[in-house]
């Protein structure tokens, strides 16, 4: 799904890599590692190490352009219009196939998809980055809210046993199950993990047709459910500006990316679908990020832009061949962008989700595979 990033020193010399380093949020050096007599540098928000994202003046802000009304746009940016599509859409003149829809989702819609991304989308048979280590994990969010702990289950003779449990209590045959904290002895804790920690360790989940990361292709033999109807309907509606005339988008697969405070997504191209005239529909939720849209090689300097919660990006045609990535998300130091989400997620049932989204970003990208 993602073409491999360029390894070694050669990557450090490319324009794309230089942009990644420019905008990446570097952690300040630890006190233990500082040279004696020197003060920590970097300033605002813990940015250090050669700049590390301090100057954001060149980052395109489509929300600011939208708020400015119908005035003149910066050079190279235009408004795009498509019959039957009534949301504002921006394009780059030199980046055909790329479409930016600012504020495409209402606050209520954003909260719905945040909940689904944490509660429903990691559910088996969907696979996640946790599956290889723990097997399929059901009801992870419910377990996290209830402060459950995932423990390894073995029989008395050391052999794995089948502990497939009752409703609401997950166990992978012979391996793991959720239990209350009171059931875990101190000596067992090194082999156990809290459900809340596992939610924080989520990095991806796959919906619909399952992508085989080792072979870099879709494996139709893997168990899977179809894309949820409401997500497929949303993707079909939002894909209209990028679709060939007279055709409709069919959602067949999706990947959900989960970003923690220091996570980034290196430059890559999405090149595994059969028909690149069909767009990737990419939905941003939670904390704001910087998105880099480059060229067909890493040597072309990328254009940086802000992606906020509720924004949708479409990439079709030539844009599918362009390197892109996320070098930085903005967390506690810049909460203005998610204040509406904080208000909407203020109920007791959403307390865990609210804590999560304060310093996390979720990206749902939906694809037509064939």
Q: Which two tokens stand for residue 24?
A: 């990446």
User: To which residue do tokens 């849209």 refer?
Assistant: 293
Query: What sign for the dihedral angle of Cα 72, 77, 83, 85?
Result: negative
Q: Which two tokens stand for residue 3?
A: 């073409």
Q: How many CA atoms lie within 13 A of 363 on its CB side?
A: 24
Contact 277, 316 (CB under 8 A): yes
Strand order of the β-sheet with 176-179 is: 176-179, 149-152, 192-194
R_g over Cα of the chain: 22
The strand pairing partners of 140, in sequence order, are none
Q: Is 55 annotated as a binding residue?
A: no
Q: Show the beta-strand stretches assigned E in the chain.
A: 77-79, 90-92, 98-101, 127-128, 149-152, 176-179, 192-194, 204-208, 211-212, 217-218, 253-259, 265-268, 280-286, 289-293, 303-307, 312-315, 324-329, 361-367
How many Å apart are CA 223 and CA 229, to the nearest integer? Answer: 18
* Cα 28 versus chain centre, distance: 25
Q: Residues near 339 by Cβ (< 8 Å), separated by ≥ 6? A: none
* Cα 356 versus chain centre, distance: 13
How many Å apart are CA 232 and CA 209, to the nearest integer? Answer: 13
Q: Is 268 annotated as a binding residue?
A: yes
Contact 102, 67 (CB under 8 A): no
Q: Measure Cα distances from 61 to 57, 134, 288, 311, 350 in Å.
A: 10, 41, 11, 12, 30
Identify whether 125 is preceded by a cis peptide bond (ω within 30 of 0).
yes
Q: How many residues does the structure list for the chain? A: 370
Q: Is 219 annotated as a binding residue?
A: no
Annotated binding site for Fe cation: 268, 270, 324
Residue list, annotated binding site = 268, 270, 324
């Amino acid at each position: 799904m993602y073409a491999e990033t360029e390894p070694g020193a050669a990557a450090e010399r490319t324009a794309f890599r230089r942009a990644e380093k420019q905008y990446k949020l570097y952690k300040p050096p630890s006190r233990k590692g500082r040279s004696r007599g020197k003060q920590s540098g970097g300033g605002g928000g813990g940015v250090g190490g050669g700049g590390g994202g301090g100057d954001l003046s060149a980052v395109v802000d489509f929300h600011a352009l939208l708020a400015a009304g119908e005035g003149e746009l910066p050079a190279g940016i235009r408004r795009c219009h498509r019959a039957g599509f009534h949301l504002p859409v921006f394009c780059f003149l030199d980046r055909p196939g790329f479409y930016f829809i600012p504020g495409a989702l209402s606050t209520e819609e954003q909260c719905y998809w945040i909940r689904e991304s944490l509660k429903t989308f990691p559910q088996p048979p969907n696979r996640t980055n946790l599956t290889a280590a723990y097997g399929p994990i059901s009801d992870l969010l419910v377990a996290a809210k209830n402060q459950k702990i995932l423990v390894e289950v073995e029989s008395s003779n050391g052999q794995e046993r089948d502990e497939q449990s009752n409703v609401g209590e997950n166990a992978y045959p012979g391996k793991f199950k959720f239990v209350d904290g009171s059931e875990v002895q101190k000596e067992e804790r090194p082999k156990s993990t809290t459900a809340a920690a596992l939610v924080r360790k989520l990095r991806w989940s796959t919906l619909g047709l399952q992508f085989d990361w080792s072979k870099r292709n879709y494996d139709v033999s893997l168990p899977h459910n179809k894309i949820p109807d409401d997500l497929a309907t949303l993707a079909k509606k939002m894909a209209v500006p990028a679709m060939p005339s007279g055709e409709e988008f069919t959602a067949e697969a999706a990947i959900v990316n989960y970003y923690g405070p220091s996570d980034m997504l290196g430059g890559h191209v999405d090149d595994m679908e059969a028909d690149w005239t069909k767009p990737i529909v990419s939905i941003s939720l939670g904390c704001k990020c910087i998105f880099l849209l480059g060229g067909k090689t890493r040597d072309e300097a990328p254009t940086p832009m802000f992606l906020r919660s509720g924004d949708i990006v479409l990439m079709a045609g030539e844009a599918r061949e362009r390197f892109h990535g996320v070098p930085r998300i903005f967390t506690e130091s810049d909460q203005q962008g998610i204040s509406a989400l904080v208000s909407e997620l203020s109920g007791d049932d959403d307390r865990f989700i609210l804590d999560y989204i304060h310093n996390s970003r979720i990206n749902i990208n939906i694809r037509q595979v064939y």
